[in-house]
Amino acid sequence: MKDRTLLMIPGPIEFDPAVLQALGAPTTSHVSPDFIETFGRALERMRDVWCAPSGQPFILVGSGTLAMDVVGANLVEPGDRALVLSTGVFGDRFEDLLSRYGADVTVIRTEPGETVDFEAADRALAGGDYKLITGTHVDTSTGVRIDAERFGTLGKQHGALTILDGVCSVAGEEIRQEAWGIDAVLTASQKAIGVPPGLALLVVSQNLLCRWGKRRTVVANYYADWTKWLPIMASYEKRVPSYFGTPAVNLVCALDVSLGQILDEGLDERFARHERFGRACRAAIEALGLDQIPTSADHAANTLTAPRYPEGVKGQDLLPKIREAGAILAGGLHPDIRTEYFRIGHMGATNAGDLLATVGAIEAGLHACGHAFDLGSGVAAAQSILFG
């Protein structure tokens, strides 16, 4: 019997074999002509995937939290006002992070499952001189998606820089960074970008770089300082050797392959696929009689689904049974509701077969835990959307 369990958590995810093959190739020098070409091309491809033709991309060794930290370190000077729109754990992370750099932070926090109240954000911005606003496109702790286009517009209306945490959305949910006026969109490699963990990725606008250039103080975080990294990114794009800190050579090679695959699929097709998979998974969960954390399908993420455990079923019993049936899922993360729900990731290279096998494994687990439902009803509901 095949000893392979599907990894269906909201990152890291199942990766494409060609991406893993690139990762396993012999490591080359970070200044070899082949690698310079690969790095330069990956930067160019990022602009296309982010839909930010005049944006400045960065590829750094690190995780999504580092991408958040880099933005905070470079933008915040003591006393700057920041508005954090929080829809969960990762929104809250910005409050802590920006405060470290001396920001005066206001948080508009929603109940778990609710999306951002843009009218409240608008009122807050009208009442203060905010330098920046942060939003979490998909908060992985709640499965809630915010309206990223409206987020960009809000920033423009109030002259505030917009920082979008796209860790659980870039290359899965629709983002048009430049058209929507978003100043920074950051992510990590291990989610819908489709590369094993280890890269912090971000694209920032020229408007943001211009504000950054007017800093009065030196950037307090040595590694994060764009003064160090801008010449490196520019050199790779000009295809000339340069060095500040050693890049994750193999991961960058894998990134280049994955970005190529994303562009070959086509962004419109990719966003539509994720939207279809999101709908299919939510329909399956509903058919099995489970509620979900997002309070409306209109603001439910398409990259993950967050079902509540049914009455009488506990995560510590259900999740191991689902795993035995073939799929690794994640438990709850939001501290207020941690034991009440679980999370299913379905992004990046996930295909219809993976999703159906996962729904089948969930059915097997629920059945073993004594939850009453019609066996096969979840799979049928997902199929009617995937193939209907």
148 closest CA partner among 178, 123, 112:
178
At 254, which amino acid appears? A
3-state SS assignment for residue 139: strand
Count of residues engaged in binding ligand PMP, rule: CB under 6 A: 12
| Binding status of residue 330 toward ligand PMP by CB under 6 A | no
| Binding status of residue 65 toward ligand PMP by CB under 6 A | yes
215 closest CA partner among 313, 89, 73, 314:
73
Q: Which is nearer to ligand PMP, 289 or 331 (CB)?
A: 331
Q: Could you say which residues in the range 182-211 bind ligand PMP, by CB under 6 A?
A: 188
Query: Looking at 13-21, 60-68, 308-316, 377-385, which segment touches ligand PMP (CB under 6 A)?
Result: 60-68
Q: Could you say which residues in the range 67-126 bind ligand PMP, by CB under 6 A?
A: 90
| Binding status of residue 223 toward ligand PMP by CB under 6 A | no
Q: Which is nearer to ligand PMP, 139 or 178 (CB)?
A: 139
Q: Which is nearer to ligand PMP, 43 or 138 (CB)?
A: 138
Other C-beta atoms closer than 10 Å to the C-beta of 238 total 10
Q: Could you say which residues in the range 134-163 bind ligand PMP, by CB under 6 A?
A: 136, 139-140
Can you tell me which of 167, 182, 202, 203 binds ligand PMP, judged by CB under 6 A? 167
Q: Which is nearer to ligand PMP, 11 or 152 (CB)?
A: 11
List Cα–Cα distances, 383 to 81, 207, 208, 284, in angstroms. Answer: 48, 45, 44, 9
Instruction: Name the burial class of residue 149, with classes exposed (0-12), middle (13-18) and buried (19+) by CB atoms within 10 angstroms of its CB.
Output: middle
Contact 143, 294 (CB under 8 A): yes
CA 153 – CA 168 distance, rounded (Å): 21
Shortest Å distance, C-beta 97 to ligand PMP: 10
CA 120 – CA 130 distance, rounded (Å): 14
Contact 90, 166 (CB under 8 A): no
Q: Which is nearer to ligand PMP, 193 or 379 (CB)?
A: 193
Shortest Å distance, C-beta 373 to ligand PMP: 30
Q: In this chain, which residue has its C-beta nearest to ligand PMP?
A: 64
- Residues of this chain that interact with ligand PMP (CB under 6 A) are 11, 63-65, 90, 136, 139-140, 165, 167-168, 188
